[in-house]
Amino acid sequence: MTQDNLDKDQIILGYWNIRGLVEPSRLTLQYTKTPYTDKMYQVGDAPEYNRDEWLGEKFKLGLDFPNLPYLIDGDIKLTQSKAILYYLGHQKNLMGNNPQEEAVVTMLCEQAHDLRLEFGKFCFGPNGDSESEKKKFLDTTVTEHIKQLNAYLGKNKSRFAVGDKPTVADFQLFEYVDCCCSIDGGSMLLEKYTNVKELLQEIRELPELKDYIARSHAQLPMHIKMAKFGGKVIEQK
């Protein structure tokens, strides 16, 4: 869909044609059945990795800080993935039921974001295509994050990460843990940390998300094409 054809009465979410840092916001919009335009920008093939589709629009959208992802909701124009997620969380009442819960939701989102940044640095780094280095990354960085999350969930003992209904923290955790566990051995790691596995399954089975995750979500790569891991769609095993 071109910019000229976008429905100006709908939220517009702009990003590369990948999951990346915007997928938690897509999950939020899907879960709340919010009509939106998913504006995906293409990246060309190697060796140029042409980004002209985005660069041609970057400074024409009225964004204060032009970047991807962006969200346009009427007069509201935002960039930065977490600002977008928190905006949607407040708008859709998915930030917890009180200030204390909101603080925990924010903490979990930030913790998940830290893991995703580590994953991204690894996948774009010099060893991103090394099987031995992927295993090392899974056994160290990913395991430590999942171990801590598993302990938190065991102590919390609610259906979702914060309470008995989903929040944006669940969507951020689901997406970023799922990405990291796409490394060979990730599913075995989750067998060890069952609280995390059960949370991911709860999100995957939500009626509002089940079809989206199985279809649209599964057809997007995690990263843009120049990544050494995750730049192509990974077949589910």
Same-domain status, 103 and 85? no
Residue 217's region, left for phi above 0, alpha for psi from -120 to 50, else beta, is: alpha
* Tokens 């095993």 belong to residue: 237
Residue 58's CATH number:
1.20.1050.130
DSSP 17: S
Residue type, 146: I
Paired tokens of 213: 């995750």
- Look at residue 201 and tell me whether its pLDDT is greater than 60: yes
Q: Specify whether 214 is located in the same domain as 129.
A: yes
Contact in structure between 22 and 78 (CB atoms under 8 Å): no
Q: Are residues 79 and 127 in the same domain?
A: no
Could you tell me if residue 228 is inside a domain?
no
Query: Domain holding 202: CATH number?
Result: 1.20.1050.10
Mean pLDDT for 76-87 is: 98
Instruction: Look at residue 29 in the predicted model and tell me its pLDDT.
Output: 98
**Based on the domain organization, do 131 and 185 belong to the same domain?**
yes
Can you give the residue range of the structural domain that contains 63? 11-92
pLDDT band for position 7 (50/70/90)?
A: low
Does residue 199 sit in the same domain as residue 110?
yes
Whole-number Å distance between alpha carbons of 27 and 204: 10
Mean pLDDT of 117-128: 96
Amino acid at 40: M
Evaluate whether residue 160 is within a structural domain. yes
Query: For residue 234, what pLDDT band results from cuts at 50, 70 and 90?
Result: confident
Mean pLDDT value across residues 195-221: 95
Q: What total number of domains does the chain contain?
A: 2
Residues 86 and 37 placed together within one structural domain of the fold: yes
Identify whether the C-beta of residue 177 lies closer than 8 Å to the C-beta of residue 204. Answer: no
Residue 17 lies in a domain: yes
At residue 237, the pLDDT reads 47
